[in-house]
A and B are shown apart, each in its own frame.
Chain A
Amino acid sequence: MSFDQFLQYIVSGITNGSIYALTALGFTLIYNATDIINFAQGEFVMLGGLTAVSLHRLGLPLPVAFCGAVLIVMLVGIIFELLAIRPLLKASVLAQIIVTIGASLAFRTFAMIFWGRDSLPLPAFSGETPIKIFGARMTPQSLWVMGLTLVIVVALQLFYRRTLAGKAVRACSVNPEAARLMGISYSRVVLISFAVSAAISAAGGVLITPSSFMGYGSGAMIGLKGFAAAILGGLGSPIGAVLGGLALGVLESLAVGVVSAGYKDAVAFLILLAVLFVRPQGLMGQRPVEKV
């Protein structure tokens, strides 16, 4: 493997890893507030991309289609939370998780009926002239995705550490009952988490559609890999989610280069298994301490 090739694998890996990172962030947000793993997270990515395609087809310029798609999917996230999650907040975590699996299938079927079975494209946001970085090349679109990931991570960190609302969310993730006793509206925190998580995933979906296209089934693999990335980075840590996503992307890319393309997907799940055996709290997670 030449250095140029190695660099290209890294660059491609970071590009793909960014979308895993965004999806993992979505998982983390919801998990932090509710202990729920939202298996419909990948579908929010898919819905974001496809909604933007429809809006663009209606004639709206790309930035408007982007904002519109994010808002619409945020609304879908809110409605989903109100209808499917809220009634179950007092039920077991397993029930809630199964509801999200059901929702993911429902979203996928709706997308198949509404948008058909083909993958659909969007025009690139700032053209397609590749950018050269030493021996590697990436598209401007990848920069958009990476840029968005960075902005969201920074914004989330500021939110959690510097704002009262952010502290309220962190309080809920540690101990919902105590948080309620302190006057924090737990159900509102959950709602906000779902809304923001859906918005982040949708934004990622819109940004990857120009280069990777989006079809009704695209969300499934993105969701699974995003989940693996979240576990790798440590469920509950936003920075961990991003690191996990990037690491997963790079490892996948290198696996294609070093081993063979057939093992690309296997890498993600092998890593997941390895992490769970060796360091279950992930790269950045903290080993939970139970005090009796």
Chain B
Amino acid sequence: MHRKNVVIVVAVLAALGLLWMVGCGGGETTTTTAAPTTETTAVATTDTTAPAGPSGDPILIGAVVSATGPASPLGEPERAVLAMMETQINDAGGVLGRPVQIIIEDDQSNPKEAVTATQKLIQQDKVVALIGCTTSGATLAIKPITAEAGIPQLAMAASNAITDEPPMDWIWRTPQKDALAAARALKYVAETLGVTKIAVLHDENAFGASGAAEIAKSAPGLGLEIVATESYKTDDTDVTAQLTKIKGANPEALIVWGTNPGPAVAAKNLKQLGMEIPYIGSHGIANKAFIDLAGDAAEGVVFPAGKLLAVESITDPAQKAVVSQFVAAFEAATGGKPNTFAGHAFDALALLVNAINTAQSTDAAAIQSALNATTGFPGTGGIFNYSSTDHDGLSVDDMIMIKIEGGAWVWAK
């Protein structure tokens, strides 16, 4: 009787295990990175029409954001910014003399909903361009649709695949690419720390794995030798075994690539094992949650981020002006401070409107050429320089390294 029960139970256990794995797989699309960006209000200044209200057929711009669901901390500020900017633009006379209408759809943090929303925006509403999405998963899901329809898409997500994999002609992005953050982190390790032997500990999910791959690819070029690479599962509660293995290889610095809570566990374990090497994290820990979780172990941790986290690091006067104007406008409209995702949305719309104004047309091909010709455009994320081959627009210099000191973020020069 007991043995039969056990067999039944194992079958059920297998089913449960499968169920659990399926359930966990869906959560990964929402781990977009939090590269902080600063905002500009360049939009209002590019308008040249008379203060008399805009007239004529409205210019229809579509937007797909995750205003609800797990990615809503990212998507809701984006939605707020787009609504705020719509009012601002129209109050200043619209674009090309016409009013602008931003049709915002909520994808509920679900790529399937994003696809449905995109189809509706393109086929029913006939938008001239689309801003979307909040998450990498949704962005990649709608990319083929906008590409086939020949509608310019401005993405607010950070996965490398968005601009690394075809179709690539109709999509541009505003956040710093994951690969850029990895490059910035490596630059810090090679130049500021001046070490040669590094170890990498990464999350086994898509974010961690692609970061580790980038690091492996770029490290030799900077004279860095990766002496150990270990991984952990997103919900692993202890990485002392992995760190013990790494300790045996005697690295001079440790790069941890993942999103919370893994890096916080790693920070605590590193301290527990008495390993005194510098800890360089990914932009995924650019949030207060990391400091809350890791506590004292967060001291001295360094990670790459956009310049919004340390506004004093902005040297370009145009970008400085844009950032302060944006922060002020956001606070006036919503009563709170903007986060980096709000910045991504701001940059996306600002770049789009700039392109329409430059092209003096809402024709898709004209917008495409104008976007590809955008150079030196100050945004919250940095200075954007697009080209027909570079749809990312930002460079390593648009990111800075932030150090955690006394539980607060300090610019690490």
| Chain A contacts for B361, CB-based, 8 A | none
Q: Is the CB of B245 within 8 A of A5?
A: yes
Q: Assuming A94-B8, A213-B265, is B272 touching A138 (CB within 8 A)?
A: yes
Interface size class of B (residues with CB under 8 A): 35 or more
Q: Is the CB of A262 within 8 A of B271?
A: no
Q: Is the CB of B8 within 8 A of A93?
A: yes
Partner of B244, one of A5, A139, A224, A265: A5
Q: Is the CB of A101 within 8 A of B6?
A: no
Q: Is the CB of B10 within 8 A of A130?
A: no
B319 interface residue per 8 A CB criterion: no
Q: Assuming A101-B16, A118-B289, A130-B273, is B237 touching A208 (CB within 8 A)?
A: yes
The CA of A119 and the CA of B262, in the complex, are separated in Å by 10
A128 interface residue per 8 A CB criterion: yes
Chain B 285-314, CB within 8 Å of chain A: the 1/0 string? 000010011011100000000000000000
Name the distance in Å between B134's Cβ and chain A's nearest Cβ.
Answer: 15
Chain B 258-287, CB within 8 Å of chain A: the 1/0 string? 001100110010011110000000000000
Q: Is the CB of A261 within 8 A of B293?
A: no
Q: Is the CB of A12 within 8 A of B261?
A: no
Q: What residue of chain A has the Cβ atom nearest to residue B261's Cβ?
A: A119
The CA of A2 and the CA of B1, in the complex, are separated in Å by 47
Name the distance in Å between A247's Cβ and chain B's nearest Cβ.
Answer: 15
Q: Is the CB of A280 within 8 A of B3?
A: yes
B-binding residues in A (CB < 8 A): 1-2, 5, 8-9, 12-13, 15-16, 35, 37, 39, 93-94, 97-98, 101, 117-119, 121, 123, 128, 130, 137-139, 208, 211-213, 215, 217-218, 220-221, 224, 227, 231, 235, 252-253, 256-257, 260-262, 264-265, 269, 272, 276, 280-281, 288, 290
The CA of A290 and the CA of B13, in the complex, are separated in Å by 25
Supplied contacts A138-B272, A213-B261, A218-B235, 20 more A-B pairs, CB within 8 Å = A9-B241, A12-B240, A12-B244, A16-B238, A39-B16, A97-B12, A119-B293, A121-B293, A130-B274, A137-B272, A212-B265, A213-B265, A221-B20, A224-B16, A235-B6, A256-B230, A257-B241, A261-B241, A261-B242, A269-B17
| Chain A contacts for B274, CB-based, 8 A | 130, 137
Q: List 5 A-B contacts (CB under 8 A).
A: A15-B240, A101-B16, A128-B295, A130-B271, A220-B20
Q: Is the CB of B296 within 8 A of A128?
A: yes
Name the distance in Å between A135's Cβ and chain B's nearest Cβ.
Answer: 10
Q: Assuming A97-B12, A256-B241, is B3 touching A288 (CB within 8 A)?
A: yes
Q: Is the CB of B9 within 8 A of A37?
A: yes
| Chain B contacts for A217, CB-based, 8 A | 24, 235
| Chain A contacts for B292, CB-based, 8 A | 121
The CA of A98 and the CA of B9, in the complex, are separated in Å by 10
Q: Is the CB of B247 within 8 A of A218?
A: no
| Chain B contacts for A35, CB-based, 8 A | 5
Partner of A8, one of B1, B9, B13, B240: B240
Name the distance in Å between A51's Cβ and chain B's nearest Cβ.
Answer: 18
| Chain A contacts for B289, CB-based, 8 A | 118
